[in-house]
Amino acid sequence: MAAYEIGLRTSVVTTGAAGYELRAGTRRVQVHEIGITLQAATASTFGIGRPQNTPVGGTNNIAPPGDAADAAFGGSNILAGWSTAPTAPATFFRRHGFPATIGSGIIFTFRQLILPVSGSLVLWNLSAVGVSDVFVIFEEQ
């Protein structure tokens, strides 16, 4: 089982849109942590959940392995800029609102958040949000 970590800056700041998607490849994915830090003084509310549709395409961001001896790329991807964008989750695992303060942040930890093969998880903009730095730590099973 290889563990992967990646930090990215969001570019989608629109209300009711996905900022990023973690999409499992040919193996299940266990999500350990997701962190968000505001980089703009904009009050922002985010949610983390499974989209109701199956997103298609997207700009692939490759997460490096935590252990350099592991494969440089797992089958899972962090995506943005889809040809068919994710739709809003019906329910959220986590929601958090930030004040309009640069540097406000939170780290979500998960005990047992598993994505099935080809399943995904999105960082959803519940309000117009500021540009943010986001990191994800996950493990393929």
Residue pLDDT, tens place only, 10-22 = 989 999 999 999 9
- Please check the confidence at residue 7 and state whether its pLDDT lies above 80: yes
The DSSP bridge partners found for residue 79 are 21, 60
Q: Give the CATH number of the domain where residue 42 resides.
A: 2.60.120
Percentage of the residues of the chain whose pLDDT score is greater than 70: 98
Angle at 47 between CA 18 and CA 138, to 5 degrees: 80
Task: Name the domain count of the chain.
Answer: 1
pLDDT of residue 1: 74
Per the model's pLDDT, the better-predicted residue between 67 and 1 turns out to be 67
> Rounded to an integer, what distance in angstroms lies between the CA atom of residue 19 and that of residue 123?
5
Quick one: which H or E segment has residue 24? Answer: none
Can you give the pTM of this predicted structure?
0.92
Residue pLDDT, tens place only, 40-51 = 999 999 999 999
Containing structural domain, residue 14: 3-140
> Tokens representing 84?
């068919």
